[in-house]
Amino acid sequence: MSEMLIASREIPALINHFGGEVVISYPIYGIRLLEARPEGTGYRISILSNPDEFYAASLRFGEHAMEMPFFSDFEECLLASGVTTYANMEAFREKAKIYRGLKKEISFGLDTNLMYHRFFTTSRALRPDEVILTGIVRQEIEYVLNHKYSARFIAELRESAPEASWYIAEFENRRKKKSRKAAYLAMPEYKTLRDRAILVDEGEKAVHATRENDQMIVEALRRFEEKRFGLPVLLTADGSMADLCDAEGVEYFLFRAPYHPKPRHASPETFFKLVAHLALSFGVVTIGSAVLFGEFGGKGDDPDAFRLTFIGDDHHTECERDIELCRKLSALGIRR
């Protein structure tokens, strides 16, 4: 067994090492997630798993099943990387043109779920200076940042899946699923925006009840409209949030989740982002004979740290050499 620490920018060297067809799997369930084949200038991605397969695999973990990945987590990674997009994304782009044609100052408030979907980064549909970030959205992300697995919790997970015990053991005293997604998907998105967006924080405190937090987000946008005499538009993928906007008289756009993903073409950059997001959200994935940990002992707080492990083959020497070569070239500062 051989292992090394890598960054997300080095994932292409890993993928290219295998060449041709690449299958990405979730080893704790023993299921294949997707297949990627080079096609033209990118990759043809085929989804190999389904919701029923995820649900059935989670049942063996009993009371801890909710802590395990579901197909919705997989779909979230597809959205966050840009492999898929909302079913009505083009309708929003057209609606945004209409909004911007109005005489009022237009701004767009992002709901918390769009931070996890990395909407701003992936869609490139908004300017940062027209984005509103409320204090409640920030607090909702921060609230789940540091929930970690106890030794007892990990022992119970290992007992439920003894054949995956080695993978699970890496998560002891590391972030749980919700915390991983908050720390590695939502918070980086928030940090990308916070210095350029419109920050609306009136001192409200987020609570455990999601409905109450949603109410505070909507009310914050309504007060913003009253003070600025502009038109804030809440962007959300949550139907209940849309209902609150209707009740409060706040403009909104409700994104519809994409239908179950079908094979599609993705650019190399998009595919490599997907690999990284899967490793971060799920904690670990396998790529051929390689194991890519997004969560592991000794990781620290760097969302861009991964551990690459090869088990029982001779691929590691060549792959490690390729990655080291990429590092040396990068250190030279050569740009295309």
Same domain, 59 and 113: no
Same domain, 227 and 295: no
Q: Which helix (H) or strand (E) holds 2?
A: strand 2-7
C-alpha dist (Å) from residue 39 to 43, 44, 45, 273, 292: 5, 6, 9, 17, 24
Same domain, 64 and 199: no
C-alpha dist (Å) from residue 113 to 65, 226, 268, 289, 329: 22, 25, 26, 34, 38
Same domain, 125 and 28: no
pLDDT digits (tens, 9 = 90+) for 233-286: 999 999 999 999 999 999 999 999 887 767 789 999 999 999 999 999 999 999
The DSSP string of 184-248 is: IIIHHHHHHHHTTSEEE--S----S-HHHHHHHHHHHHHHHHHHH-SEEEEEES-HHHHHHHHHH
C-alpha dist (Å) from residue 43 to 15, 97, 308: 11, 32, 22
pLDDT digits (tens, 9 = 90+) for 49-75: 999 999 999 999 999 999 999 999 999
The answer to pTM > 0.95 is no
pLDDT digits (tens, 9 = 90+) for 224-233: 999 887 999 9
What per-residue string of b and e applies to 163-196 under the rule 16 or more CB within 10 Å gives b?
ebeebbebbbebbbbebbbbbbbbbebbeebeee
Same domain, 51 and 71: yes
Which tokens belong to 136?
């409640």
What local confidence, expressed as pLDDT, does residue 212 receive? 92
Closest C-alpha among 163, 189, 170, 131 to residue 283: 170
| Average pLDDT score, the chain | 93
pLDDT digits (tens, 9 = 90+) for 12-34: 988 988 886 899 999 999 999 99
Q: Does 164 reside within a domain?
A: no
The number of distinct structural domains making up the chain is 2
Q: Does 226 reside within a domain?
A: yes
* Domain of residue 117, residue span: 88-146+176-254
Residue 336 pLDDT > 90, yes or no? no
